[in-house]
Amino acid sequence: MKIDIKLSGVGGQGILSIATVIGEAATEAGRQLKQAEVHGMSQRGGDVQSDLRLSTEEIFSDQISLGKADLIISMEPMEALRYLPYLHQDGVIVTSSKPFVNIPNYPDEIALQAELDALPHVAKLDIDQLAKDNHIPKSANMILLGMATRYIKILSPEQIRKAIAAIFARKGEQIVNDNLKAFDLGYENI
């Protein structure tokens, strides 16, 4: 069993935390793991992307080839579409539905949503609004991870919850609880 995940977003949105949690869960579960270097200007609001490959068998490369990704997890809808060439025909996109407009020539939001809606396997949700409505505004990325967990069959939701608790433990019990709440909201809303 294997899964190839393309992670994408804008610097500062928390995409690297998602990768860290999945990596921790995979390591604890005894899965093989390869992660490609993160690209982009993560400190300046630029695009950020990373390849994450998990398997029960040995993995030889850390990069995902065009047309081979099983899942795109994106904090931003335009960034999800940017990596569409990597998604295989039965692959799934899990993305925030709300754009993060950080460039003057950002595409029209209606056209962007129409392009996403035309794809066969897309799960999208306004994760930022859901996080604000539930008083956990800094945990939108964990909502997205909760959404994506339904498609990461190689790991169970409990393995990912345990990894969230481990990763955020040093920040205190409230931060752990907020991130677990966010994860559960995403998992339940898909």
Q: Of 187, 181, 14, 190, whose CA–CA distance to 100 is shortest?
A: 14
pLDDT given for residue 72 in this prediction: 97
Could you tell me the two tokens for 185? 């909201």
Q: Of 169, 160, 7, whose CA–CA distance to 82 is shortest?
A: 7
pLDDT given for residue 40 in this prediction: 59
Please, which pLDDT band fits residue 49 given cuts at 50, 70 and 90? confident
Residue 44 has pLDDT above 60, yes or no: no
**What pTM does this model have?**
0.92
pLDDT given for residue 48 in this prediction: 79
For the chain, what percent of residues have pLDDT higher than 90? 75
Q: Of 86, 12, 82, whose CA–CA distance to 46 is shortest?
A: 12
Q: Of 57, 4, 64, whose CA–CA distance to 32 is shortest?
A: 57
Alpha-carbon distance of 9 to 154, in angstroms, equals 23
| Cα-Cα end-to-end distance for the chain | 23
The two beta strands, 87-96 and 39-40, are unpaired
As to burial, measured by CB atoms within 10 angstroms (0-12 exposed, 13-18 middle, 19+ buried), residue 25 is: buried
**99-132 per-position pLDDT tens digit:** 877 777 877 889 889 999 999 999 999 999 999 9
Residue 75 has pLDDT above 70, yes or no: yes
Residue 65 has pLDDT above 60, yes or no: yes
Please, which pLDDT band fits residue 77 given cuts at 50, 70 and 90? very high
For the chain, what percent of residues have pLDDT higher than 70? 93
The DSSP bridge partners found for residue 93 are 72, 122
> Which residues lie below 8 Å from residue 139, measured CB to CB, with a gap of 6+?
131, 178, 179, 181, 182
Q: Which domains does the chain have, with CATH numbers?
A: 2-188 (3.40.920.10)
Residue 164 has pLDDT above 80, yes or no: yes
Most confident of 14-23, 35-44, 76-85, 157-166: 157-166
